Every structure is written in C-alpha cells, then in structure tokens.
Amino acid sequence: MKTFKLGNQHIPAIGFGTWKLTSIVCTDSVKMALDIGYRHIDTADIYGNHKEVGIALKNSGLKREDLFLTSKVWYTNLKREKVIDCAKRNLDELQTNYMNLYLIHWPNRNIDIRETVEALEELKRENLIMDWGVSNFNEHHIKDCVDFGFKPINNQVEFHPSFYQRDLKQFADDNNILLTAYSPLGQGYDLNLPEIIELSSKYGKSAAQIILNWISSKNIVVIPKATIYEPIKENFESLNFTIEQEDLNKIDDIKINKRLLEPDFSDFNY
C-alpha cells in the first residue's frame, strides 16, 4: 500500500472518508472499506458517527497498530479544556486509546490558536494522539501557528481538478506540510469534466480513478467516500496505475476554480 511519511508515522495515501455517513450505513461502509483493504479511516466529531466507526473498527478483527485513524475537533471547541475533553470523548466513542492524527477542523480567530495548539501538544505528550494538524487552513492561518513556534504536520483541504489549490500546495511543500484532499471528486462535478472523460477512455479507468490518481501523483492523501461495494473497491484501486506526465498536465490546466464548501463561519478571505 502506498504511504506518505507523516512525522514518525506513515499515513496510507488513500483513506476512507465518512462525512455524512451515519447509523448502520456508516458501520457497514467502513467495514466494507476495511475488508477491501483500506487501513486509513477519516472522521470528525461534528460528523456524529464515531460510535458507528468504532463498531466497524472493532468488528474488523484488525490490530489497532495496523490502522490509521484521523478525527477532528470542531471550531467552537478550541479552548484548552474543550479540546482535551472532546479528544477523550472521541476516543471513548471510537473504542480506541489513541488517534493517529487529530485535526483542528476549521480555524477560529476568536480563540487564541496558542491555547488550542498547547492542548493538542498536551494530548500528544499523553499519547492520546500521535500527532496533530489542521483542516481548512489557508497560508495565513498556518503562519499564525508557526509564529507561535508550532507547525501543523497535515492540512486537510478541499482539493480536486476544478479546485486545484496550486498556491496552497506550493506553500505546504515549502513548509513540509502534507496535504489531504477532501471532496476529491468535486462531489461528483469533476467526474463529468471533458478532460477527465477523455483520460478515462484512454486509460480504461473510471473517471474517479483518474482523478484520485492525479491527486495522489502530487503526494497528496485522498479520502474518497462511497457506500456501495464496487465504488469503494474502485476507489481503493485507483493508485495502481500510472498516468503519463503530459496527461497529468492536462488536468493541471483545467481552468475552472470552483470551491464547493464555504460555510458562513469559514475564514478563507481573511
């Protein structure tokens, strides 16, 4: 399985996303993903599915050390005590004694980032999390962390062919921060881009596989989501071929710049 170096760990290059997955659908989907071969599961406190994910992990029969588990603390819970309380509750819900990666889900400039990071560092010292990172952070948010002497190891952001965050990727590379791409298929929109359809035909691969392969070629983790066996398996197998550089460049050159997720509390333009 392809992995990327992440501090003292290795993170699988493809993970299974669980946003909007709830109840038995979540448990069954995660269990299918684990049976197919996924070893990286991505969730978050706000998703409300930790218990369902935990059941799937427990029933998988896999050793904890063979799994990579990512979760996130919500942007309203970034005060020190709340960060620690949420992490401990999340561990109980997931039926595990540590998380591999714990992310600040969204920035919140109403709470001093130092307080949040110090809480995360405390969780790390107690071995309740192996490492921490951020999600939906732009350059200036990360610079705020760095100014206080802390640098996130991972930044999980929206990234897909019709929203190629080229500058943010360069900034991440320059600062040794690994990106993770959520909504990697553009919530279905990018599957119908002419460039993707053309390459799907050329390589005999699905549109989803072309997109996931393109993202992975940039050394970015991908976390697609599905609830049906065949797409889950198809996504997992998306890294098992090579796209020629000139074809990767065709996807790079797609002119659309379409952000899909921008809630009222987002801070992208600050």
| Segment 21-35, tens digit of pLDDT | 999 999 999 999 999
Considering only the C-alpha atoms of the chain, give the largest distance between any 2 of them, rounded to a whole number of Å.
54
Cα distance between residue 10 and residue 183, in whole Å: 22
Q: Which residues are catalytic?
A: 47
pLDDT in tens, 56-105: 999 999 999 999 999 999 999 999 999 999 999 999 999 999 999 999 99
Is residue 70 packed enough to be buried (19+ CB in 10 Å), middle (13-18) or exposed (0-12)? Answer: buried
Residue 72 tokens, joined:
């996130």
**Domain annotation for the chain: domains and CATH numbers:** 3-191+217-228 (3.20.20.100)
pLDDT of the residue at 270: 57
Average pLDDT over residues 8-22: 97
Question: pLDDT grade, residue 208 (50/70/90)?
Answer: very high
